[in-house]
Structure 1
Amino acid sequence: MEKDALILVEQLAFKKQKSYMQSPFRYLLRAMLASMFIGFGVIVAFKTGNFFFMEHSPLAYPIGALTFGAAIILIVYGGGDLFTGNTFYFSYTAFRKKLGWLEVLKLWLLSYAGNIIGACFFAFFIFQTGLFSDPSTNSFLLTVANNKVHLSTSELFFRGILCNWLVCLAFFIPMRLEGDGAKLFTMMLFVFCFFISGYEHSIANMCTFSGCLCLKSTR
């Protein structure tokens, strides 16, 4: 079954490459869309977690971790090119000598750039809604972001590795499962694991920090 799933990984990598070859701009837009989906997950996680955070409840992080799973569902079923997932698809295909590393690097850079742009656009939209203008609604978000910026570079680096390990498994393992119910549960479980463990997802951090910068600008 693993071999069948790995064949799907290659096919997905070629599909993404084909999308880029047909229209680099469309590929960029898909990357922007992916980080916006992550942004939706970030907002849901911190809005729901904040209710518990304000009451000093230990459930703040578990609830945030549980609801953040909406992000991966949006990406898988709504479409989008997420850099962290692309590192898996393109690396595997390149190691199999089915794609050149120069081509892989180009695809990575464009998806990463699109993710950054999308995160900034989403932060602007959230800023315009005023949903986090009240300090009583943004305490959890700002506290988590503040804790992140005080981590050392090496801590962030290794937390990022462990995070993407789980994220790639969240994309890979459901390929071997039948039925949307099993796939959804597995994806959300792995996302819950990386969130509750305190690992660092680079694209989620883009959305978190860009959102915090907008909030800070209102003070």
Structure 2
Amino acid sequence: METQALQKVEEYALRKQDIFVSSKIRYLLRSILASMFIGFGITAASKTGSYFSIADSPFAFPAAAVTFGAAIVLIAYGGGDLFTGNTFYFTYTALRKRIRWRDTLYLWAFSYTGNLIGAVLFAILISATGLFEGASHSFLIQLAEHKMEPPASELFFRGMLCNWLVCLAFFIPMSLKGEGAKLFAMMLFVFCFFISGFEHSIANMCTFAISLLIDHPDTVTLAGVVRNLIPVTLGNLAAGIVMMGWMYHTLNADK
């Protein structure tokens, strides 16, 4: 039943590889663009959450989760290239023997690097606006602090469950008809991962980069960033490889 969607996954992966082969700079720029799009989502979610948080409203986190959904729409329709989605696309295509595993590793490395660069660049831009001064940045700092607290094992599984949902947010709409249905499905899945407290490595990059460049407490540190990103990235990778790439290849091995 998901055969047509999987064909699109394979086509997307091969198209991304073509871009990489023809111009690594273009591929890197698309990756930079993707995390900057996520930066817009983080900014909107943080500002929305802060407005509710200042009023001691229990709707702070749900409201932030809704507005963060704009990020996936920007990536899906704006031409960004996201590492977390690529863990699924390239794994499935490599298992289909349409792309070499060595090339898959290169593509993952470039997209992750580009996403990191984009997160830092966006953080520099948004910090220059002065929009996160005073109480308006409280929700963002709370997010950053909370992400640095759990042990590595918990962060790994939160990252795994997160990217499972994120990959599904790109995959499920491929089988739907109508742009409205696709947009609703994408934003619903992203809302689910955000409200559940799961961990997305690229979204975390943006959250941490902005937090470190604005006025922040001693609890937000570069060491805390590294401590979070390593297990979360591994969890994201595990979900893309096992729960999505391997799972759907196994379920459709005779197709």
Give the TM interval when normalised to the shorter protein.
Answer: over 0.9
Report 1:52-201 matches (<5 A): 52-133=52-133, 135-201=134-200
Quote how far apart the aligned CAs of 1:98 are: 1.3
Q: Deviations over 1:195-218 (max 9, x none)?
A: 000000000000000000001379
Tell me the C-alpha RMSD between the 2 structures: 1.2
Unaligned runs of 5+ in 1: none
Counterparts of 1:19 and 1:9 in 2: how far apart (Å)?
Answer: 16
Q: In structure 2, what residue type is equivalent to 1:103?
A: D
CA deviations over 1:10-44 (Å, ceiling 9, x no partner): 00000000000110000000000000000000000
* Gap change, CA 1:2 and 1:32, over 3 Å in 2: same
Contact 2:141 2:216 in 1 (8 A): no
Corresponding residue SS for 1:175: helix
Partner Cα separation in structure 1 for residue 217 and residue 188 of structure 2: 36
> Secondary structure of the residue that 2:107 maps to in structure 1?
helix
For residues 150-192 of structure 1, the C-alpha deviation after alignment (integer angstroms, 9 at most, x for no partner) is: 1111111110000000000000000000110000000000000
Cα deviations across residues 53-84 of structure 1 (Å, max 9, x unaligned)? 11111100100001100000000001111000
Q: 1:130-161: CA deviations, max 9, x gaps?
A: 0002x210011101110111111111111000
Letter in 1 for 2:33: L
Q: Moved runs in structure 1, 4+ residues, more than 2 A? A: 216-219
* Corresponding position: 1:36 with 2:36: yes
TM-score by length of 1: 0.97
What SS does the corresponding residue of 2:81 show, helix, strand or coil? Answer: coil
**Whole-angstrom CA distance in 2 between matches of 1:68 and 1:48:** 9
- The within-5 A match list for 1:198-213 is 198-213=197-212
- Assess, with a 3 A threshold, how the Cα gap between structure 1 residues 217 and 150 changes in structure 2: closer, same or farther: closer
Alignment TM-score, normalising by the size of structure 2: 0.84
Q: Secondary structure of 1:30's partner?
A: helix
